[in-house]
Amino acid sequence: MNASTGHRGTEERHHRGVGAFAEPRAERVHPLGGCPAQGGVNFSVYARGAEQVELLLFERIDDARPSLVLPLDAKRHRSGHYWHLFVPGVAAGQLYAWRAEGPFVPARGQRFDPQAVLLDPYGRAVALPRGWQRAAPHALPAKSVVFDPRGYDWEGDRPLRRPFAQTVIYEMHVGGFTRNPNSGIAAGRRGTFAGVVEKIPYLMSLGITAVELMPVFQFDAQEAPAGLTNYWGYAPMSFFAPHAAYGTRPDEPLSVVDEFRDMVKALHRAGIEVILDVVYNHTSEGGDGGPTFGWRGLADGTYYLLDGEGRYANYSGTGNTLNANRSVVRRMIIDSLHHWVQVMHVDGFRFDLAAILSRDEEGRPLASPPVLADIESDPVLAGTKLIAEAWDAAGLYQVGHFVGENWKEWNGRFRDDVRAFVRGDPGMVPVLADRLFGSPDLYGARPREPAQSINFVTCHDGFTLADLVSYDGKHNEANGEGNRDGSNDNLSWNCGVEGETSDPEVLALRSRQVRNLLAINILALGTPMLLMGDEVRRSQRGNNNAYCQDNALSWFDWSAPAREAGLLRFVRGLIRIRFLRESVQREHQLTLAELLRDAALQLHGVHLGVPDEAWDSHSLAITAKSLSGDLLMHFALNAWWQPLEFELPALPDWAGREGTGWRRVIDTARDAPHDLVAPEAAERAGGERHRVEPRSVVMLMAAARAPVLDI
């Protein structure tokens, strides 16, 4: 009686010890979920306070009612708060759900509903019927699916374990990457894990080393304004199951699991790591009045933070907050991470609103949050990339002091300060120097590696890079919320005209500003992250909160790589130049403080050795010497609206002997392909000074032997 067998009818049938199965029996409490064992499947679920629990077995995904109901006897099938039984004769692919009966006393954290059909919190796959409705989830219920992790051929695949210092991250949406009809991918494969596989050559040519996938856990796509779709996916219905709609056969949930693994295996073969954006801070059940999918109907007061009257804490901004430091929830999070590492082979995780995970049951930040300590000390997760979005929706901001030793952080300060400097804001020169040097003001107090900071100027949340230089304000009317949603503080500048324009001077300035931001982001000390499509100027027409726009507004436009070939080449070149630095090589395991000392970094203004940190200064220059001493890079940044003459450092004797001298490798004021030139072919920059055009970035290089780069 699984997803592939014939239909037996839609009327519920209570098992009485006869029929298709031998007598179910009490079996193991562990592992949780529906787990195949010899001769059948062991089912186990946590349901604190439940007085009666039933296991529901279904024939087909679209069935409204179970074909068999198996009541669990509290004396035989309950151990503590766990209900469990072994069902002979069923196997992987079996569709199932739970029902739990008990008190409805929200003030005590009990919201049992005997009519609610509940997903298994440990279900490794989810089957979502056609016609399923968030507003009436139990009329045509979602089902969990029994999954057997054995049998898949990984062909020797292992997580890549690439050091952060050698990592360039590409934040990507699985659906949006290939959903556009101009992707060149067959209709049934667009917007899927399989579609990503077809575009791996593009990712390889770009030079990125890791994709950070926006949520791929099964999510509620209907959690959005009427007529729109939750596109981003920050509305989890499961912490173990991949999103069925990202499979080419969404009505075959186990095939979706295999297609995810096929994608991971293919990316690994290409040398690209897979990082998942994970949402362990809230669920799609929302707050008071929200739907019941699973956790709420099994153990509301265990899974969620509640006040004394049973109201949901809302540190996530979505209606509820997981009680992450409760032992049961903590174990669920760890088990979920184990599943994605051991069974699905992912390389790392970016934790959405990770600061929430530091809150106790009263919402107060803990000095040593148990769940974060568990994650960081877990041997299965050792070597796995851990990235924290170190803030939450209630104002807790932990950038620079997130708990633990192994976490890297999305550096929101880098984003804001770089945007402000490039826009031309006053007073930014001193802080910009810190951002370019790996943010020692944030990360220098402890022995941190230079890659501690995840540097970005754009991400999914906010303007794209093209929009950052094209709009002064957000334009979110399409979201149906009267343009009230999304941030009002974007540190953007439209370069003189709001939105689309044909003015050549405005377009040229925008192009220059895009290159300035990319050059700073990719070449600064830290781990750079790029937003999908920024390398080809993807625009959302000023929408800075496109979470509900599953359409061409958010999708990657596959006509753009040809149209923006010059910018794409520039980004590829920046990544290749980044990898010239010895600080990204494995043999140099230096802390941030050691690197800043040993690399002989020098700060300048337009005059050597005299950085201008005045309030009205808009210029900065940096000279960096390689650890081996045979490569020099000199950066000059001019965010002023007039050209500036920067004094050039004297070169060592070897530069004169080899005759290389300073060569202009990057100049964002120049048109492609002269904006970035391979060092061996770059023009000489003679004299004691070098002119840097308004609002532009220049990088000069001198090397004992000019590196040969394929740009």
Residues designated catalytic: 352, 389
**DSSP code per residue over 316-367:** TSSS--B-TTSHHHHHHHHHHHHIIIIIT---EEEETTGGGGGB-TTSPBPS
Token pair 């006393």: residue: 105
CB 370 within 8 A of CB 325: yes
The vertex-689 CA angle with 685 and 693, nearest 5°, equals 80
Which H helix or E strand runs over 630? none
The vertex-705 CA angle with 704 and 708, nearest 5°, equals 150
Q: How many whole angstroms separate alpha carbon 3 and alpha carbon 106? A: 36
Q: How many whole angstroms separate alpha carbon 600 and alpha carbon 602? A: 6
Q: Residue 592: name the closest of 441, 474, 383, 447 by CA.
A: 447
Q: How many whole angstroms separate alpha carbon 224 and alpha carbon 230? A: 5
Please give the C-alpha separations between residue 356 and each of 294, 312, 315, 334, 393, in angstroms, as whole numbers: 21, 14, 7, 16, 9
Please give the C-alpha separations between residue 685 and each of 4, 518, 664, 698, in angstroms, as whole numbers: 70, 23, 6, 11
CB 135 within 8 A of CB 292: no
Which H helix or E strand runs over 692? strand 689-692
**DSSP code per residue over 471-515:** -SS---GGGSSTT-SS-S------TTSSS----HHHHHHHHHHHH
Which stretches within 284-326 are classed as H helix?
295-303
Q: How many whole angstroms separate alpha carbon 8 and alpha carbon 24? A: 20
Indicate the DSSP class of residue 40.
E
Q: Residue 453: name the closest of 162, 171, 167, 160 by CA.
A: 167
Which H helix or E strand runs over 314? none
Q: Residue 527: name the closest of 449, 607, 595 by CA.
A: 449
Radius of gyration, CA atoms only, the chain: 27
Q: How far is CA 143 from the centre of its chain?
A: 27
Q: How many whole angstroms separate alpha carbon 130 and alpha carbon 139? A: 12
Indicate the DSSP class of residue 159.
-
Which H helix or E strand runs over 415? helix 412-423
Cis, peptide link before residue 673, omega less than 30° from 0: yes
